[in-house]
Structure 1
Amino acid sequence: MDFLSGLRRNWRQFNPPVAAKHDDALKFGILGAANIAPLALILPAKSHPQVIIHAVAARDKTRATAFANKRGIPVVKDSYEELLDDPAIDVVYIPLPTGLHLEWALKALAKGKHVLLEKPATSNAQEAEILHHHRLLNQSSEGPVLMEAFHSRFAPGWQQFLAVLDPPNISHAIAKAMVPSYIASDDDIRFNYSISGGALLDLGTYPLASVRDAFGAEPEECIDAKMTRMAPPREKCDHTFYAKFRFPNGGIGEVKGTLRAPKTHLSLPSIIVTHKPVPAPEEAKKAGDKDTEVTRTRKVTFCNLLWPTNYHYVTVEDKFEIRDAGSSTMKREYTKTETKKAYTFREMDRDLAGETHWSTYRYMLEEFVNKIKGRQGSGVFVSHEESIAQSRALDMIYEKSGLGLRPTSKRVSKFV
């Protein structure tokens, strides 16, 4: 039954119901005919009554026209500038290469447009500070909304995972993401240094954010980092990465991944979080002996960091150890294991919007629109400070590895 329901859920994500559009629907324009746009915005917009995909622009208008015709977008603009100048457009979605994000996000904000900006939001922390602390975002509460499109963090399954963690008592977390080499060829745009290429800045954002979310804190130090470089002439870009951080509570977080896993490699990106032993008074009561001490060591596994709405699970493994009070000798141990899943917030007993066919991107779009419309929603959002903190952590890895930061825009002086 779970298998069949999973098939139905995934089929519906790629074939969502089409909602009637409200009179106050937001009109979106897309900068660039990027491959991610259909999955990240066009598809989830179909079921959102307050989102209309109105226009697209690309550097090659022929490509933009073909893109629009295939996806039913009514307006094709001659240039990015013409799209930003259109008063009918309320929101701009920017899936351009990372090295172009700062320039075009600020140009869109200057035109009064709300901006949904693909992750990573910027090439480095300097750019993140410029963008997210820019005066264009601080004029008034009625000003434009800017959000980094970190879709996976909006999924109910991810919130379910966070709910079973005890951040102050986490001792170790390791997150991995391994992608077969056929996904990105050597000449893929992901490995173009001039526009901020590299596996860490692309794939690595997911495991890094997951470790930071788990600890609920920012790393104090990157104590180790290793990068495997691409072959010349792309040697400034990494295809495989590893990093180890120390967090304020003394815990260790590890991040590893690659865009060069063997072609036969099959695994879903995951995170495993181990906690320190803590007293378990409820279990001690069950033991029925007031001189008995029980400790619990919790390990939590989350499977599928990138697309948890397609499939995921949260496994909570609690190991209990029983000792006589004041003794270091263990008398008995036992383990309790529970597996949780949540494809809607209702499965977490939270009365919030969502359907089993909603993708991570659809959950994200819901909260982005809620923010623009001034609604509370689920409370999940990628704040400006969160995006800056993520960028700082990425910089820490690049600096520690010796590979160096991704380049700052040559036009940065225009945006300060």
Structure 2
Amino acid sequence: MPEAPRTSVARKLRWGLLGTARINRSLIPPLRLSPRNEPVAVASRDAERAAAFARTWDLPKAYGSYEDLLADPDIDVVYVPLPNHLHVPWTLRAVAAGKHVLCEKPMALTPADVDAVARAADEAGVVVAEAFMYRHHPRTRRIRELIAGGALGELHLVRGAFTFVLDRPNDVRWRPEWGGGSLWDLGCYPVSFTRHVVGAEPEAVFAWQVLGPTGVDVSFTGQMRFPGDVLAVFDCGFRSRFRMEMAFVGRDGLLEAPRAFKPRPEEPMRRYGPDVDVPEPVLVDDPDDLYLGEVEDLAAAVLDGRPPEVTLAETRANTVVLEALLRSARTGRPVRLS
């Protein structure tokens, strides 16, 4: 078994970034804001690119291969923002090197791959978590509290959407063999959000998709049926104007959450009562940095032994639903889940 990272000595976790992906720009500032984390290294398969990235972001270490970063004993946590098909292989390699891992969503494309990660993490004694940043935002917690507390009456329907126009022809999301497509990239958010708020797993799903010229879904619409006759519908895609929203409909009210996955203070939630046409704003203290809660949660899991907000069991459950939705869209039939 590899030697565990030296987190018991240093209260700050030292992070290494696998790759120079755009999303790194969102993670480095909160790592610097956090009292328990710090970014120290970046790796690329192009040494010059890694060095340039390190200079731009003032990182003390740059590596010309992912393997060299994983071999660095001073790295405690590895962030994996690579294309979807590389998430599991490099998460497993990081775990084998004794590193904790924050892996971008979707962590895996099959439940079996999540199981492999879970077994490896357990054997190595490290923490692995999927990077759904919205889960760490106070607005998400407030939505769940309101619905669980009966603020809308009995919950009947959940609606979600995440779309934008993807017009970069060489984008990795166009490649089916790399886990491309809008469901894996965007639909995972409303599916995850719905499951989290309902607090249960769907009993059955049904879906339609529109395929693009490369064979990935460019538009996707899904339905989910939950216990207690709670229904959910969502859509995602690469060919419609930007939308990022969730809505929850109950017997006595409606709660709308604009920009649900990346909230902004200037767009608060709106709550409608039983017979009210004018909404009441639902205000929540928004953190200065959306991703700060994500890295602080990982630090709490590593340093304090607290389970991460998004456990591997939950990652597996979300993957099961996404895989079933894809199967339904491909066959034109509903899929029942145990």
Q: CA deviation at 1:124?
A: 2.1
Amino acid at match of 1:306: F
Give the match for residue 98 of structure 2. 112
What does residue 179 of structure 2 align with? 196
Query: SS state of the match for residue 219, structure 1?
Result: coil
Alpha-carbon deviation of 1:334? 6.2
Distance 1:154 1:311, change over 3 A: farther
Aligned match of 1:172: 157
Change (3 A) 1:403 1:199: farther
Matched residue type, 1:270: E
Letter in 2 for 1:361: Y
Deviation at 1:403, TM superposition (A): 7.4
Q: Does 1:148 align with 2:148?
A: no
Q: 2:208 aligns with which of 199, 203, 226?
A: 226
* CA-CA distance at 1:272 after TM superposition: 1.4
**Partners of 1:95 and 1:117 within 8 A in 2:** yes
Query: In the aligned structure 2, how far is the partner of 1:382 from the partner of 1:65?
Result: 33
Provide the secondary structure at the position in 1 that maps to 2:147: coil
Which of 214, 222, 237 is residue 258 of structure 1 equivalent to?
A: 237
The answer to whether the 8 A contact 2:129-2:308 is kept is no
Q: 1:146 to 1:23 in 2, by over 3 A?
A: closer
Distance 1:403 1:310 in 2: 42
Q: Which runs of 5+ in 2 are unaligned?
A: 1-8, 333-338
- Deviation of the 1:170 alpha carbon: 1.7
- The offset of 1:193, in angstroms, is 1.4
Check conservation: 2:11, 2:303, Cα contact below 8 A: no
* 274 and 192 in structure 1: CA distance in 2 versus 1, 3 angstrom threshold: same
Question: Equivalents in 1 of 2:86, 2:227: separation in Å?
Answer: 34
Superposed, which structure 2 residues align to 1:120-139 within 5 Å? 120-132=106-118, 134=119, 136-139=120-123
Q: What TM-score results when the alignment is normalised by the length of structure 1?
A: 0.73
**Cα RMSD for the two superposed structures:** 2.2
Distance 2:265 2:48 in 1: 34
Query: Would the aligned equivalents of 2:130 and 2:310 in 1 still touch at CA under 8 Å?
Result: yes
Q: How does 1:310-389 map to 2 (within 5 A)?
A: 311-319=266-274, 337-344=279-286, 356-357=287-288, 359-374=289-304, 381-389=309-317
**Secondary structure of 2:11 counterpart:** coil
In structure 2, what is the equivalent of residue 48 of structure 1? 34
Residue 330 of structure 2 is aligned to residue 397 of structure 1: no
Give, in angstroms, the shift of residue 306 of structure 1: 2.1
The residue that corresponds to 2:87 in the other structure is 101
**For 1:298-344, what per-residue CA distance to the aligned partner results, in whole angstroms no more than 9, with x for missing partners?**
2111111221156542222221xxxxxxxxxxxxx667853212125
Deviations 1:208-250 (A, max 9, x none): 112212211111111x21111111xx11x11111001111112
- Larger Rg computed on CA atoms: 1
CA distance in structure 2 between the aligned counterparts of 1:241 and 1:123, rounded to whole angstroms: 17
Identity over the aligned pairs, expressed in percent? 28
**Residue 64 of structure 1: SS of its match in structure 2?**
helix
Amino acid at match of 1:58: S
* 1:157 and 1:312 in contact (8 A); partners too: no
Higher mean C-alpha displacement, 237-246 vs 306-315: 306-315
Question: Contact conserved, 1:211 with 1:254, CA < 8 A, in 2?
Answer: no
The whole-number CA distance in structure 2 between the counterparts of 1:375 and 1:122 is: 24
Q: Alpha-carbon deviation of 1:139?
A: 3.8
Tell me the distance in 2 between the aligned counterparts of 1:209 and 1:33. Answer: 26
Task: Flag the 1:250–1:110 CA change in 2: closer, same or farther, 3 A.
Answer: same
Equivalent of residue 219 in structure 2, options 217, 240, 253:
240
Question: Which residue, out of 30, 38, 42, partners 2:25?
Answer: 38
Find the aligned partners of 2:36 and 2:247 in 1 and give their Cα distance: 38
Change (3 A) 1:311 1:390: farther
Secondary structure of the residue aligned to 2:162 is strand
Does 2:248 correspond to 1:269? no
Normalising to structure 2: TM-score of the pair? 0.89
Q: Using the alignment, how far apart are the partners of 1:403 and 1:82 within structure 2?
A: 44
Q: 2:195 and 2:258 mapped to 1: Cα distance?
A: 16
Distance 1:334 1:192, change over 3 A: closer
